[in-house]
Amino acid sequence: MRCNSMVLTCKRIIVVLLMCLVCVLGYTQEVNIHVEEAGMLSTYIDASKKNQIKKLTVTGYLNGSDVYYIRQMDGLETLDMTNSTIVAGGKGYTTENNTIGYQHFKGCKLLKKVRLPSSVLYIRYQAFDQAYMLESIEIGEKLIEIHDQAFVNDMNAYGHAIRTCKKMKEFIVAENNEKFSAVEGVLFNKEKTELIFYPNAKSKEYIIPKGITSIRQRAFSACDNLFSIEIPESMTFIGRSAFENCNHLMNIYSYTSTPPTAESSLAGTIFYGVDLDACILYVPEGSYSNYWLAPAWGGFKNIVEYDPATAIYNIQNEKYVIEAIEGGLSIRNLPLDVKVKVYSMNGTLVYNGDGGAISLSSGIYVVRIGEKAMKVAVR
């Protein structure tokens, strides 16, 4: 009897596990729907299944009613609209022909990946507001305009932007798009002379490619994952609020002796919200005065001259020298009461002493001398 009871119990456990598996598989279902008549998407999906769909591929014609219905699909993670066309009309949302409109995907809190219709021409203001989990957007061949606040929340109570697409990792752009391009997930214009938008979750450190001459307004706005950035010698212009509320930005390396023109606005400078007391601005040797005087750039408390060719740092108003040498660093001319601490990029203390020749393996280090800190490369 006991043996039969155990067998019965095992069978019940197996049945329960199978039922759970069915539920999981049902929830991860991928659905393909063709909508011949705009506004009719909801008629293809039973109400009990709407929130169980994780991946939806939709073709045909969509209007405001369909966009509103998609927004209500609480479990949706991947949306492929490549072969669909957005047309004006419907209820719930205002739609324009071939346009991702105002707040169309607002609050799609689980949505991770979107492939926009190939026919879309415009992405409007706040189109992806509060799409907190969005990681990837694929842009088609015909897109010609993206609003600078498409992925940034309108304003906080003080009139400044807040980024809501904090998980964004990449833009993917069709090769034959005539207006836009993407390099390693970062959005540029087609000619790759203007940086348009940087995904917040891409990397904590970013080197802007050589040849880029301008940064569009709000390109890095509210990027709280950005800790370090390098600006190439080719840079001449940075749009308003470009680095607004990048509150973790600690190092800026500018390789142009002439400070790029920084567009101001009523909200403040391009560095509004950056900790100008803690963030270190590295500039080419001999250009300290240029940056010290320049609007926006002059707000930094720590401006450090740097010769990239020799890796020698000249701290303004200080007498000591930091120089990269074979197998490490040389730190000279320190006052007797000043100590040197060197940290690896993961925060590990690798040196604590009086300076001189310091043996280090190749890599990037943070050197702290007294109250000043800087990032140094050892090759």
Give the pLDDT of residue 224: 87
pLDDT band for 374, please (50, 70, 90 cuts): confident
**25-202 placed in CATH 3.80.10.10:** yes
**In the predicted structure, residue 21 carries a pLDDT above the cut 50:** no
The CATH number corresponding to 315-379 among 3.40.50, 2.30.30, 2.60.40, 1.10.40 equals 2.60.40
**In the predicted structure, residue 368 carries a pLDDT above the cut 70:** yes
Any idea which residue has 């492929």 for tokens?
80
What Å distances lie between residue 49 and 44, 107, 147, 229, CA to CA? 10, 20, 34, 46
Any idea which residue has 């669909």 for tokens?
84
Which is more confident, 379 or 210?
210
pLDDT band for 5, please (50, 70, 90 cuts): low
Give the pLDDT of residue 182: 97
Q: How far apart are CA 176 and CA 140, in angstroms?
A: 8
Q: How far apart are CA 173 and CA 322, in angstroms?
A: 43
Mean pLDDT of the chain: 85
Q: Is there a shared CATH topology between the 25-202 domain and the 315-379 domain?
A: no
Give the pLDDT of residue 336: 77
pLDDT band for 118, please (50, 70, 90 cuts): very high
**In the predicted structure, residue 273 carries a pLDDT above the cut 70:** yes
Q: How far apart are CA 133 and CA 349, in angstroms?
A: 35
pLDDT band for 363, please (50, 70, 90 cuts): confident
**Is residue 325 within 8 Å of residue 357, measured between CB atoms?**
yes
pLDDT band for 343, please (50, 70, 90 cuts): confident
Percent of the chain with pLDDT over 70: 85
In DSSP terms, 323 is beta-bridged to: 312, 330
> Domain map of the chain by residue range?
25-202, 203-309, 315-379
CATH topology of domain 203-309: 3.80.10
**In the predicted structure, residue 260 carries a pLDDT above the cut 60:** yes
Name the least confident of 54-58, 70-74, 194-198, 329-333.
Answer: 329-333
Summarize pLDDT for 212-244 with one digit per residue, the tens.
Answer: 999 999 999 888 889 999 999 999 999 999 999
8-state DSSP, 209: P
In the sheet that 99-100 helps form, which strands lie side by side, from edge to edge? 99-100, 122-123, 145-146
Q: How far apart are CA 266 and CA 222, in angstroms?
A: 17
